[in-house]
Amino acid sequence: MTFQFSRTAKVIIKPGSHLKLINTTFTSFPNTECNETYTWKGIDVWGNS
């Protein structure tokens, strides 16, 4: 499975939760207006351990 994200998107993993990924790709959504290359905001893991 592939998830495509805009330049302002990010994944947040909150305390007490989990994210299980198997054969998964996270990537930027292509900008077809100007062929601009950019990166999305990534994954934030919230917690203190």
Q: Is the dihedral of CA 25, 10, 5, 37 positive or negative?
A: negative
Question: Can you give the pLDDT at residue 7?
Answer: 84
Q: Which domain holds residue 2?
A: 1-42
Whether 47 is covered by a domain: the verdict is no
Question: Can you give the pLDDT at residue 12?
Answer: 94
d(CA 37, CA 18): 30
Q: Which residues contact 18 (CB under 8 A, 6 or more apart)?
A: none
Whether 3 is covered by a domain: the verdict is yes
Q: Report how many domains make up the chain.
A: 1
Q: Which has more pLDDT, 39 or 43?
A: 43
6 vs 17, 31, 38, 40, 43, CA distance in Å?
A: 24, 9, 9, 6, 13
Question: Can you give the pLDDT at residue 25?
Answer: 92
The token duo for 31 is: 């900008």
Whether 49 is covered by a domain: the verdict is no
Query: How much is the pTM?
Result: 0.69
